[in-house]
């Protein structure tokens, strides 16, 4: 059987892939990196590009269809256009672009794409993107944190795909307007996570909210009081000194927070 070179073995639109991979670092809302910290997380754009280009044949492998170098370059540019759109964060759930990418995979795998196994899945980027491209994905890891991340991203959501939420607020809407919402993918599960997450937040505040009282400064701005352990300072009789050595809460650009000892 003649070996067919894959696109990844010949050429890739690296500039577009690198740009989108670097851009992911500044994306917070909806990105898997916000699910749980993982120190070696691979960019989704890079994982998506590598998986797709590893399954799609390079035009040079089909001389009967692309006999000249010009014809091969033209077809390669067409594949590059698909891949350039595929790696964009905004197109992660764009069904038209995903369907076009999946069609190329099916074309070059005789409608029987292989399953993907990542034995050291870590943050789950590779199995997640394999699943997004329509592949059967398997993941494992020795670290229980990695296992938890992968369960939350690639095991649990598919079980509830296409199903409506079960929380009481959404159920009321479903009963009154059964066809008002299209619960595609895991959107029903996401609605339940939002609802019960807010419910847990309220319950937690009811139980321990009094431990984090609110105060207003001289400008009328509201702040949360954080209590720390204190000890008597032997150098200053009868004075309490807090045991904290770090007063910074967040140093992220645009959202810097710190504690102010009072």
pLDDT digits (tens, 9 = 90+) for 157-178: 989 988 999 999 888 877 666 5
CA distance 68 to 23: 37
Tell me which of 191 and 262 has the higher pLDDT: 191
CA distance 93 to 61: 31
pTM of the model: 0.76
Task: Please tell me the chain's helix, strand, coil percentages from 3-state DSSP, rounded to the nearest 5.
Answer: 50, 10, 40
Helix (H) or strand (E) holding 191: helix 187-208
Please name every residue paired with 154 in a beta bridge, in sequence order, or none if there are none: none
For the segment 59-107, what is each residue's pLDDT rounded down to a tens digit?
A: 999 999 999 999 999 999 999 999 999 999 999 989 999 999 999 999 9
Tell me which of 183 and 114 has the higher pLDDT: 114
CA distance 16 to 156: 32
Q: How do strand 230-232 and strand 222-224 relate by DSSP bridges?
A: unpaired
Q: Is the pLDDT of residue 218 over 70?
A: yes
Q: Is the pLDDT of residue 250 over 80?
A: no
Q: Is the pLDDT of residue 260 over 70?
A: no
Q: Are 84 and 78 in contact (CB under 8 A)?
A: no
Q: Which residue has tokens 């929380």?
A: 167
Who's near 59: CB < 8 A, 6+ residues apart? Answer: 65, 66, 71, 72, 73, 75, 76, 79
CA distance 135 to 112: 10
Please name every residue paired with 241 in a beta bridge, in sequence order, or none if there are none: 231
CA distance 234 to 129: 59
- Binning pLDDT at 50, 70 and 90, where does residue 239 land? low
Output the average pLDDT for the chain: 87
CA angle 14/75/9 to nearest 5° reads 45
DSSP-assigned letters across all residues of 205-252? HHHHGGGS-EEE-TTS-EEE-----EEE-TTSTT-EEE-----EEEEE
Structure tokens at 130: 């394999």
């Amino acid at each position: 059987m003649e070996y067919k070179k894959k696109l990844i073995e010949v050429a890739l639109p690296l500039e577009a892939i690198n740009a989108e991979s670097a851009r992911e670092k500044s994306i917070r809302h909806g990105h898997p990196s916000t699910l749980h910290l993982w120190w070696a997380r691979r960019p989704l754009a890079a994982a998506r590009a590598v998986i797709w280009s590893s399954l799609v044949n390079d035009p040079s492998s089909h001389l009967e269809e692309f006999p000249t170098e010009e014809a091969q370059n033209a077809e390669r540019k067409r594949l590059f256009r698909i891949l350039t759109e595929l790696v964009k964060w905004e197109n992660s759930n764009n069904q038209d672009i995903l369907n076009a990418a999946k069609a190329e995979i099916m074309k070059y795998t005789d409608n029987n794409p292989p399953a993907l196994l990542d034995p050291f899945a870590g943050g789950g980027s590779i199995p997640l993107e394999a699943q997004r491209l329509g592949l059967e994905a398997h993941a494992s890891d020795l670290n229980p944190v990695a296992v938890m991340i992968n369960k939350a991203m690639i095991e649990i959501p598919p079980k509830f795909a296409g199903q409506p939420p079960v929380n009481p607020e959404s159920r009321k809407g479903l009963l009154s307007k059964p066809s008002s919402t299209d619960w595609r993918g895991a959107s029903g599960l996401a609605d339940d996570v939002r609802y019960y997450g807010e419910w847990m937040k309220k319950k937690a505040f009811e139980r321990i909210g009094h431990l984090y009282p609110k105060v207003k400064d001289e400008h009328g701005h509201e702040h949360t009081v954080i209590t720390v352990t204190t000890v008597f300072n032997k150098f200053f009789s009868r004075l309490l000194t807090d045991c904290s050595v770090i007063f910074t809460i967040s140093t992220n650009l645009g959202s810097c927070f710190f504690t102010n000892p009072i």
